[in-house]
Structure 1
Amino acid sequence: MPAPLSVIIPTLNAARDLPLCLESLMPGLDSGLIREVIVTDGFSEDGTESLAEAAGAVLLKAAKGRGRQLIAGAEAARGEWLLFLHADTALSREWAERVSDHISHRPDNAAVFRLKYRSDEKGARWLESRANRRARWLGLPYGDQGLLISRQKYDQIGGFPDVRLMEDVMIVQAVGKKNLTFLDAEARTSAAKYERDGWRKRAWKNSWMLARFLLGVSPDKLAKEYT
């Protein structure tokens, strides 16, 4: 039987973070879980493509935009399960074991990882706690937490929407809170934007963007304001 999992990583000028992301996938390769790693690149100019090819990933080109890059990766994937992962996120070593258990025992549910920031600042611990509580209470994890979903479920809910922002929110809304499992493994994501802007300032800005989206503001309008 072929390995069940296709990992899909959208990239745009991600040369700084992509190597750590790809390295973190090794437990899945070693255990025979991963069938393929697909990097869907939005025409990077910093060597991202070369890094992906050197690591043995399948490299696709797609018009810039995370939603459409995720869609392109999913269309090309051959696995019965899909794992969507941001290029600036690295998984903790036990991730492959947790994913295998999920596939075996909860095949009807999608799943995400526990959020952790790659920072030693106190603000990182504050935001992790807040974000993980929000994810469980509302069923609205960050895209940084990855998304594990069967091909069958992905097709059933219509996949990712082709939008410029909030594609991660829209797909977990389609999945539904009761159909979402939280795995006991970490998605360790970059803290660069928070360290640049300030932890609380950036957190409240993101929360305000989400609130406006939930109140009906279009993703395209929000994308014009997002930095």
Structure 2
Amino acid sequence: MQSSLKISVIIPVYGEAGSITACIKNVRECCGEDCEIIIVDGSADGSTLSAVKDDGVMLLSSPPGRAVQMNYGAKKASGNILLFLHADTTLPPAADSLIRRALLAPCASAGAFKLGFDTSARSMKFIACIADLRCRIERVPYGDQAVFITGKTFAEVGGFPEIPLMEDVELFRKIKNKKLEIVVLKESVTTSARRYQAKGPLRCAFINTCLRILHVLGISPETLSKWYY
């Protein structure tokens, strides 16, 4: 029965015209032709949507903000399982089967893949290793790990809180409060290291860690977002 559950892949974008075709191709290859793909563009010019040539993809526009865009896509989704994917993240082979199998676990309602980067640099391998350790201890994945959740649980927790930063952390905090299991798969996604390389890998990792600590200490996402950007 689980194998028949439909997966809706929701991709929030903003200025991703150059990568969206490759992203859609990867989703088709790794989740099957029958999966539902929904792209939600937060840019007023709709440049990413204009670059999509696949007629089977649902194209939506919404106000900017990753949480806002993902929630809007989820409202339009018809799948039993929601997979939230960044446009610069590549899924592993047979991702659909891995997700369905993960959600067979008792009380499992959400999860994510292991984090990987599109570079062999030692600094990035170290960051990925630390991220994996943190995630397995905390059971709080980040958005660049291609998080997935049953539509039922997503509705029950009220979706992503529409805040400018840490929306993924807050979503999984709500799931944990319901005593539901969060599955972290051993298979990795491959995420672009461009943001880390632009700021410096270790500096970027340090900033992310500081922001997370400040979030735990009660600093508002709005303030954190100003500091981050």
Same fold (TM over 0.5): yes
1:41/1:60 contact within 8 Å kept: yes
Map of 1:27 onto structure 2: 30
Map of 2:58 onto structure 1: 58
2:108/2:180 contact within 8 Å kept: no
Map of 2:39 onto structure 1: 39
- Percent identical across equivalent pairs? 31
Map of 1:193 onto structure 2: 195
Map of 1:215 onto structure 2: 217
Mapped to 2, the partners of 1:122 and 1:171 lie a distance apart of 31
Following superposition, the deviation at residue 104 of structure 1 comes to 4.2
Map of 1:182 onto structure 2: 184
Cα RMSD, aligned residues only: 2.0
Q: Aligned with 1:101: secondary structure? A: helix
Following superposition, the deviation at residue 67 of structure 1 comes to 0.9
Query: Aligned residues, how many?
Result: 224
Map of 2:110 onto structure 1: 110
Map of 2:9 onto structure 1: 7
Mapped to 1, the partners of 2:106 and 2:184 lie a distance apart of 11
Map of 1:83 onto structure 2: 83
Following superposition, the deviation at residue 96 of structure 1 comes to 2.2
Tell me which amino acid in the other structure corresponds to 1:154. F
CA gap of 1:107–1:47, structure 2 versus 1, over 3 A, is farther
2:211/2:224 contact within 8 Å kept: yes
CA gap of 1:63–1:74, structure 2 versus 1, over 3 A, is same
Q: Aligned with 2:225: secondary structure? A: helix
TM-score (normalised: structure 2): 0.90
Q: Aligned with 1:222: secondary structure? A: helix
Unaligned 5+ runs, structure 1 = none
1:94/1:185 contact within 8 Å kept: no
TM-score (normalised: structure 1): 0.91
Following superposition, the deviation at residue 106 of structure 1 comes to 5.0
Mapped to 1, the partners of 2:96 and 2:172 lie a distance apart of 21
Mapped to 2, the partners of 1:186 and 1:103 lie a distance apart of 17
